[in-house]
Amino acid sequence: MSTQGYSAVETAVRKALVPVCALSGVLVVTGFFFPLFVGSVIPGRVWLVAALLFFGSGLAYLALLPVEEGVEARDDGRSAPYLLRVRHLSPLTALRSFLARQDPTTFGVPVVALGLFFCAQFVFPAATGDTVSAVETVLLNDLGWVFLSAMLLCVLYCLFLLLGPWGDVRLGGPDAEPTYTYPTYFAMFFTAGIAAGIVFWGPAEALFHYRSPPPYFDVAPESDAAIVAALTYTLFHWGLSAWSAYLVVGVPIAYFTYQRGAPLRVSSILTPFLGVERLDGRWATLVDVLAIFATIGGIATSIAFVARQFLAGIDFQWGVAYGDLGPVVFVAGLTAIYVVSAESGVQRGIRRISGVTLALFGLFVLLLVGVGPRSAVVDTGSAALGSYLVNFVPMSLFFDGPWVAVWTVWNWSWWFSWAPFAGLFLAALSKGRRIRTVVLTGGVATSAATVVWFLLVGGTALAFQHSGRADVLATIEAYGGSEAVAGFPVLAALPLSRLLVFCFLALIVVFIVTSADTSTLVVAILATRRDLAPTSGSILFWGLVQGSVAVAVLLVGGGETLQAAAVLTGGPFALFALVALAGLTLALSRTEGLDGPWLPWLSVLPTVPALPRTLAPEDLDDPDDEGDATDARAGED
């Protein structure tokens, strides 16, 4: 396997990025330590561009560093799965083969659908919004019990995989070795799956529940009891249930891909019912199309929302407003960053930026522990954690009134809509891991990290709001009710506030980059014809699509409508998750020799055929590679 990153173009780009990062870094540091310069000596838009150049040039330089053979050997020990390799074709070859490599349906339908959606939103904004809202209301209110039941079943099934005999099954066979070291494996999945939502909602959600407590607890608003109730439901919405939605899609994809030779696609969850040879039919295609639409809708709206959060933080810190142009500039810069990261591949940009994100996440947590209200956070957090464990099952079944529909059911639908993208990426990373390890990592470890964050950040926000040290809710109202600003008055009330704000802004950027670069790669895989790896041209196209949709959300409006439309795909995937669990149960009980009297209903289902192991993705040959020296030189990721 040849080494990536030594081409003349990449070497020149890396050399150019160093002075850009240094010069923009001077302006950024000046803004933090001499805040009067921002808005007076340094115009606000100049500082925004400098901040984007600083973060972007630094992350791009990291992504474009070459892969040393020794490092590659330590991290993988073998080549990465074939479909995760980005094929670097010459520009002429990429242009000539771009459409030929795309699947006509999974490529064409999402592009046309998104175009028609924004045309309708532009021409008939009220009618489009009303239609989507009406469907969303029916789904969340009338069918909310479907989401609640499906999510609880997912959690219970994941616990069974964790504790039961099927957890010993090694993905790829008994002799398969993990592709990535465990820290890399955890970092890439955690940072891709949580996105910037952990930064966006960390200081905000518990405050909303504190002001309007969940009816399950029946406590007075803004009371002592409301603090524990608010934090309990925040943990519930971001804990084990949320990550289980990813697992119930990711584990079946991984099993059928590595054990049965199915393609690395979301539709592989239908393998037990269709067979591998029929996974290019209409049902499988429908699943992949819905997965693409859900991924683009979820990621693009997240990009638009974190753009507003980043600019709200700058406005709060320096009193600089940017108008309509600021968010567009931010999205454009962010798009350039995650496209470079995705194009560099898993082994370089995605892996390295995930590591930086996790390190920055840990640094921020340690700083907050050091300067935050530890006593209040420990007291409130321990009570909320205990309440979460005791009330988990009753809360999972509680469906009474609009509050649950607006918060719990909406959250479950959102997590299910992200499940195809995150699940496929988890499957791609999990070859050589035991199913128990996948569940322990993708469910337990990720939930633990998320819970720690919300206990610290949410607990600090609640402590300051309740004690009057910072009136965060008043600040939110002053910014038009936008939760995007919630974290900044909390950080301003702490020692080392400037350092904390800098880290917080950096977390906004790196968390969304680690999700957007991964989603770009996943969508490119799904839109490319089966058994072909995506090219750099495909990565660029889908990265620009996600960025363009985010810009359209900001300019045309309809962000809430697009978000609602993306969430609507959570309905089908809640059902597909149950189908995936049934199929995985069938396959494991029949082929792993673990069936027994406790599963008598399995006798009515058809037997899953044992397929040759020679169809593993990394063993497939790319017919377009023949004679293309550029492709062969740079397809290692």
HSE (side-chain half, CA atoms, 13 Å) at 521: 32
Report the candidate in 482, 457, 487, 484 with the shortest Cα–Cα distance to residue 472.
487
Residue 53, in any domain of the structure:
no
pLDDT of amino acid 562: 62
HSE (side-chain half, CA atoms, 13 Å) at 286: 8
* Least reliable range by pLDDT among 94-108, 127-141, 174-188, 396-410: 94-108
For residues 590, 593, 597 and 601, what is the CA-based torsion angle, rounded to 10 degrees? -10
**Average pLDDT for the chain:** 83
pLDDT tens digits, residue range 306-332? 888 888 888 888 887 777 778 888 899
**Residue 544 clears pLDDT 60, i.e. is over it:** yes
pLDDT band at 636 (very low <50, low <70, confident <90, very high): very low
Average pLDDT over residues 603-615: 41
Report the candidate in 386, 365, 383, 363 with the shortest Cα–Cα distance to residue 375.
383
Q: How many domains does the chain have?
A: 1
**Token pair recorded at residue 414:** 């959102």
**Residue 96 clears pLDDT 80, i.e. is over it:** no
Residue 9, in any domain of the structure:
no
pLDDT of amino acid 11: 83
- Look-up: residue for tokens 């020794």? 70
User: Do residues 495 and 371 touch, judged by C-beta distance below 8 A?
Assistant: yes
What DSSP string runs through 514-562?
HHHHHHHHHHHHHHBPTT-PPBHHHHHHHHHHHHHHHHHHHHT--HHHH
* Least reliable range by pLDDT among 86-95, 96-105, 113-122, 529-538: 86-95
Q: Is 104 buried (19+), middle (13-18) or exposed (0-12) by CB count in 10 A?
A: exposed
Select the more confidently predicted residue: 519 or 480. 519
pLDDT of amino acid 427: 94
Residues 570, 85: Cα–Cα separation, whole Å? 29
What global pTM score does this model have?
0.87
The C-alpha R_g of the chain, in whole angstroms, comes to 24
pLDDT of amino acid 590: 86
Residue 330, in any domain of the structure:
no
pLDDT tens digits, residue range 236-278? 999 999 999 999 999 999 999 999 889 899 999 999 999 888 8
Residues 456, 406: Cα–Cα separation, whole Å? 25
Kindly state the percentage of the chain with pLDDT values over 90.
48
Tell me phi and psi for residue 42, to 5 degrees: -105, 110
Report the candidate in 458, 463, 498, 480 with the shortest Cα–Cα distance to residue 199.
458
3-state SS string over 446-493?
Answer: HHHHHHHHHHHHHHHHHHHHHHCCCCHHHHHHHCCCCHHHCHHHHHHC
User: Do residues 85 and 362 touch, judged by C-beta distance below 8 A?
Assistant: no
Helices (H), 373-409: 374-390, 392-397, 402-404
Report the candidate in 616, 430, 428 with the shortest Cα–Cα distance to residue 522.
428
**Residue 588 clears pLDDT 60, i.e. is over it:** yes
pLDDT of amino acid 182: 94
User: Do residues 304 and 322 touch, judged by C-beta distance below 8 A?
Assistant: no
User: Do residues 335 and 51 touch, judged by C-beta distance below 8 A?
Assistant: no
Residue 2 parent element (H or E): none
pLDDT tens digits, residue range 486-533? 999 999 999 998 899 999 999 999 999 999 999 999 999 999 888 777
**Token pair recorded at residue 315:** 């406005």
* Least reliable range by pLDDT among 44-53, 197-206, 493-502, 569-578: 44-53
Average pLDDT over residues 141-153: 90
Q: Which of 228-232, 303-307, 416-420 has the highest mean pLDDT?
A: 228-232
pLDDT of amino acid 91: 58
For residue 176, the SS3 value is: coil
Residue 141, in any domain of the structure:
yes
pLDDT tens digits, residue range 75-85? 333 333 555 55
Average pLDDT over residues 621-628: 40
Residue 12, in any domain of the structure:
no
Residue 351, in any domain of the structure:
yes
Average pLDDT over residues 559-585: 81
Residues 513, 499: Cα–Cα separation, whole Å? 21
pLDDT tens digits, residue range 414-464? 899 889 999 999 999 999 999 999 999 999 999 999 999 999 999 999 999
- CA angle (376 as vertex; 372, 378 as ends), nearest 5: 90
- Look-up: residue for tokens 């956070």? 377
**Residue 227 clears pLDDT 50, i.e. is over it:** yes
Select the more confidently predicted residue: 496 or 88. 496
* Least reliable range by pLDDT among 72-76, 99-103, 553-557: 72-76
Residue 568, in any domain of the structure:
yes
Spell out the long-range contacts of 362-366 with Cβ–Cβ below 8 A and sequence spacing 24 or more: 363/503, 364/500, 364/503, 364/504, 364/507, 365/452, 365/453, 365/456
Question: Residue 494's domain spans which residues?
Answer: 86-316+343-633
Residue 458, in any domain of the structure:
yes
